[in-house]
């Protein structure tokens, strides 16, 4: 039987091999925001259950959502929602066959965080202005 040299075998790629790039970071952020959306959706479902349970339960849910911690959670949820949407649009553009050039790919990844952050701030500013 032939012996296989350990040094000749290829390494399995992992995060210590690859050099970090914007597309890698945004890919991970897209997955993280997708997981965060599950938790946020559970909170929205709890809020809806409280609304259906009666005025006392709804008032408690509104108090929690209106607290500083509740607003931070809502801000994070809205950022996760918008960041995941922008990342999905970036993937949709790639699915259409565009944006594969290295510079375009990196710019799309860099600006997806900026655009999602800006959209989150815009939504919250509009929400407080129309309140």
**Where is the binding site, in residues?**
84
CA distance 93 to 77: 24
Determine whether 62 is exposed, middle or buried from the number of CB atoms within 10 Å of its CB (0-12, 13-18, 19+): middle
**Which residues line the annotated binding site for heme?**
84
SS3 at position 16? coil
Nearest to 43 by CA among 74, 75, 83: 74
């Amino acid at each position: 039987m032939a012996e296989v040299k350990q040094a000749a075998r290829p390494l399995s790629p992992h995060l210590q091999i690859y050099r970090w790039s914007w597309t890698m970071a945004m890919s991970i952020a897209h997955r993280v925001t997708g997981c965060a959306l599950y938790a946020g959706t559970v909170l929205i479902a709890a809020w809806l259950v409280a609304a259906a349970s009666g005025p006392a339960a709804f008032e408690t849910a509104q108090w929690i959502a209106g607290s500083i911690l509740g607003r931070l959670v809502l801000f994070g949820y809205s950022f996760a929602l918008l960041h995941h949407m922008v990342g999905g649009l970036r993937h949709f553009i790639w699915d259409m066959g565009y944006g594969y050039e290295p510079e375009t790919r990196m710019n799309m990844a860099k600006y997806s965080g900026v655009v999602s952050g800006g959209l989150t701030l815009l939504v919250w500013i509009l929400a407080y202005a129309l309140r």
